[in-house]
């Protein structure tokens, strides 16, 4: 079987697993359980503080993975590690489904950085072999749930830039195959901020 066929089969299986997980989720139960998350992330997943990510509209599969990673310690943050410690697998599935079902609100961004960010997001930086972000996160910033690539559109630019920096300095390492770590290690802080502004501007 050719590599492309194998990839198609794997993505198909992943999509089925994600769909099954979402169908099995109890959104109402997730909303109730998410009350502890509201202080930072907002009752509907739209955080008011730009250093905390918006969860509204994010792929449920991505949210589940991040919560599991925080619980296991694979992704480190003292607050999140403690907050998710008592959640069981069903709680995590339900919470992820609830936030995924919400709609992200527009983000504030520096308009002066958008054009530079757009060029990088859509075309990469050939001089330093940085691939275009849209290859994984899609031209519209919708990401790819089955592949584990998050939605970026309308996310707080401060949060996005901070996560890119964490991938670069090695304080965040829960990306599959070190894809993000390898990509951003060649990017400057200004380039990261520009990309963050561009995805924040997406609607």
pLDDT in tens, 67-117: 999 999 999 999 999 999 999 999 999 999 999 999 999 999 999 999 999
CB environment 139-153: b (16+ within 10 A), e (fewer):
eebbbbbbbbbbbbb
Phi and psi at residue 178, in whole multiples of 5°? 55, 30
If pLDDT is split at 50, 70 and 90, which confidence band does 125 have?
Answer: very high
Give the model's pLDDT for residue 92.
98
Specify the 3-state DSSP secondary structure of 5: helix
If pLDDT is split at 50, 70 and 90, which confidence band does 23 have?
Answer: low
Q: What is the pLDDT of residues 160-190, one digit of tens each?
A: 999 999 999 999 999 999 999 999 999 999 9
CATH class of 111-201: mainly alpha
Q: What is the pLDDT of residues 26-51, one digit of tens each?
A: 999 999 999 999 999 999 999 999 99
Numbered ranges of CATH 1.10.760.10 in the chain: 3-100, 111-201
The CATH architecture one would assign to domain 3-100 is Orthogonal Bundle (1.10)
């Amino acid at each position: 079987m050719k590599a492309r066929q194998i990839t198609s089969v794997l993505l198909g299986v992943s999509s089925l697993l994600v769909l099954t997980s979402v169908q099995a989720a109890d959104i109402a139960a997730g909303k109730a359980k998410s009350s502890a998350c509201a202080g930072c992330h907002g009752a509907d997943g739209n955080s008011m503080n730009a250093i905390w990510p918006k969860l509204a509209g994010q792929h449920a599969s991505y949210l589940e993975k991040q919560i599991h990673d925080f619980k296991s310690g694979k992704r480190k943050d003292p607050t999140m590690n403690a907050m998710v410690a008592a959640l069981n697998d069903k709680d995590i599935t339900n919470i992820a489904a609830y936030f995924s079902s919400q709609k992200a609100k527009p983000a504030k961004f520096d308009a002066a950085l958008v054009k530079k960010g757009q060029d990088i997001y859509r075309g990469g930086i050939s001089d330093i072999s940085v691939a275009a972000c849209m290859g994984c996160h899609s031209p519209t910033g919708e990401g790819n749930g089955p592949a584990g690539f998050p939605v970026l559109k309308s996310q707080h630019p401060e949060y996005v830039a901070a996560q890119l920096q964490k991938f670069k300095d090695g304080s965040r390492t829960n990306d599959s195959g070190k894809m993000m770590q390898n990509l951003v290690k060649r990017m400057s802080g200004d380039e990261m901020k520009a990309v963050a502004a561009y995805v924040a501007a997406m609607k």
